[in-house]
Amino acid sequence: MFIAMNRFKVLKGNEEAFETLWKSRETYLHELPGFQQFALLRGPEAEDHTLYSSHTVWQDRETFTAWTQSEQFRKAHARAGSNKPLHMGHPTFEGFESVMIQTLEDSRRTAAE
């Protein structure tokens, strides 16, 4: 599993506009092999911004890389930055490869043993 995250520092007062932008955009993620899940996460607030993270789960790093090189990626990001600035600077990318995955089922099985 590969998790790709972009962190955004959304300027105070722009949270609703930022969330609406994400909720209304077409991502084309469902068209790509290896895509498993997307989440937009709201994090802690600071004096001048609220932290957000876009979070996608992929089968592996290779399927994520294929997404970043796809026509679907270009279409999904074609209008990026065309709105008034909602966040501070560019998002910060972080990618993570799974080392261990434990499900609720795994936890229950271990507890029962």
Digits of tens for pLDDT over the chain (113 positions)? Answer: 999 999 999 999 999 999 998 898 888 899 999 999 999 999 999 999 999 999 999 999 999 999 999 999 888 877 666 666 888 888 899 999 999 988 888 777 777 77
CB 92 within 8 A of CB 6: yes
Residue 109 CA to residue 113 CA, distance in Å, equals 6
Q: What is the CATH number of the domain that holds 26?
A: 3.30.70.100
And the tokens for 33? 């092999």
What is the pTM (predicted TM-score) of this model?
Answer: 0.82
Count of C-beta atoms within a 10 Å radius of residue 29: 17
> Distance from CA of residue 77 to its chain's centroid?
13
Question: What end-to-end distance do the CA atoms of the chain give, in Å?
Answer: 27
- Residue 86 has what pLDDT? 87
Question: Could you please report the per-residue DSSP string of 77-105?
Answer: TTTTT-SSP-BSSSPEEEEEE-S----HH
Count of C-beta atoms within a 10 Å radius of residue 54: 17
- Residue 23 has what pLDDT? 92
Tell me the residue range of the domain where 35 lies: 2-112
Question: Per the structure, how many domains does the chain have?
Answer: 1
CB 63 within 8 A of CB 6: no
